[in-house]
Amino acid sequence: GSVTPFVGPFLSYVRRLPLGVVAQITPWNHPLLIATKKVAPALAGGNCIVIKPSEVAPVAVFELAQALHDAGLPAGVLNVVNGVGAETGKYLCSHKAISKIDLTGGTSTGRVVCSTAGQNLKHVTAELGGKAPVIVFADSDINRAISGVAFGAFVASGQTCVSAARLLVEESVMDQVVNGLVEKANSILIGDPLNPQTQMGSIACHRQLVHVQQLVESARVDGCEIICGGGRPSNLPEKLSKGHFFAPTLIKGVKPEMRIFQEEVFGPVLTITSFKTEEEAISLANNCDFGLGSAIWTKNIARAHRVAHALEAGLVWVNDHHKNDPAVPWGGFKDSGMGKENGWECLHEYTKTQSVVVNLSDEGTDWFAGGARYS
């Protein structure tokens, strides 16, 4: 809690209280990490939790719950329920005993969750989709930028909400950056995620693989140039040939009005668009309904701050990507959601405030007998 200023002989303080029972809906990407980011502040705020993991990746969440139970967390404080989002998730969002919904998922799911939760005036935190722009200026360390962009685009097979998705390159260094990225993408070792030598694994499920394929095909139809990847890898061993693998993909000639520029792929696909001026780069970066992650590559510190302040994104990295710390708030603008994970903001969103005002004077005031009036 906190003590707040108050005019006169009064003590004013604010208490932070648990919300009660909260529901958490976690995705199939980074299932353990994201569940931990939700469970920790909810417990710290004094709440009980019902968590529904993705039906595609439920095991890690069950293991987390078991570990906390074994460590002494009382029974009933953390509860895991299974089921598909359209049924179990909908039930949780509409249940009157639930005080808050904390969702990480797609924007379309977020709209449904917020609408359902709103019927009962529930608190909502929603970390939704992203389409992160990455701006590479000519004054950057180009080799470092190439490595950083490749990491941002292809780590976890591009299945993160802040993946580098839209590369914006200053025209004068376009060829150098593109050639370096093609070389880097072609060098990535794709294979079994359980093999320590593997650098990139598969897409999570068949449905997601089809989604990636369809968006890449839309780029082909729109006249874009697929300069790397664009389909399933051809050099996989026989035992992996039927897996949901998709090669690191680079697409040139992408324009803002195209689906591949606007829609979240959630796969190892990076679009490439050139710009001439700083103002054009900012305009291209903000020309999207999403606003979660973004990155800037430049050696000019003034430009770095200037462009960062102009970007419509909840997270801006300068000369890096993906880096985060539990103390740093994480969340987006626009269609990328509402509320924050991490930091004090996250903990506060798992509490409700009660203001207490105490009159410390022994003298009373009769408002109706002409005493001092307070408004």
Q: Which of 48, 114, 161, 346 is catalytic?
A: 161
Question: Is-above-0.85 flag for pTM?
Answer: yes
Please give the Cα distance from 14 to 373 (Å, whole number).
24
Q: Give the per-residue pLDDT at 374.
A: 60
Give the DSSP letter of residue 29: S
| Alpha-carbon distance values, 200 to 59, 82, 146, 241, 320 (Å) | 21, 29, 17, 15, 19
Please give the Cα distance from 209 to 219 (Å, whole number).
16
- Determine the 3-state secondary structure of 11 from DSSP: strand
What φ, ψ does residue 296 adopt, rounded to 5°? -130, 135
State which amino acid sits at residue 88.
Answer: T
Looking at 122-266, which runs of residues are DSSP E strands? 123-127, 132-136, 164-170, 225-228, 249-252
Contact (Cβ atoms closer than 8 angstroms) between residue 52 and residue 27: no
Q: Give the per-residue pLDDT at 249.
A: 98
127 among known catalytic residues: yes
Give the DSSP letter of residue 73: P
224 among known catalytic residues: no
Nearby residues of 214 by Cβ (< 8 Å), 6 or more positions away: none
Structure tokens at 325: 């710390």
Residue with tokens 């000639």: 253
225-262 pLDDT tens trace: 999 999 999 888 889 988 999 999 999 999 999 999 99
What are 2's strand-pairing partners?
Answer: 14
Contact (Cβ atoms closer than 8 angstroms) between residue 130 and residue 317: no
Neighbours of 370 (CB within 10 A): 8
339-375 pLDDT tens trace: 999 999 999 999 999 999 999 998 877 778 776 666 4
DSSP sequence for 95-106 = -TTEEEEEEES-
Of the candidates 129, 111, 113, which has an alpha carbon nearest to the alpha carbon of residue 211?
A: 129
Mean pLDDT by 10 residues, the chain (375 residues): 92 97 95 96 98 95 96 96 88 93 92 90 94 98 98 97 97 98 96 93 95 97 97 90 95 97 97 98 98 98 98 98 94 96 95 96 80 60
Residue with tokens 């997270």: 315
Q: Which of 48, 93, 114, 127 is catalytic?
A: 127
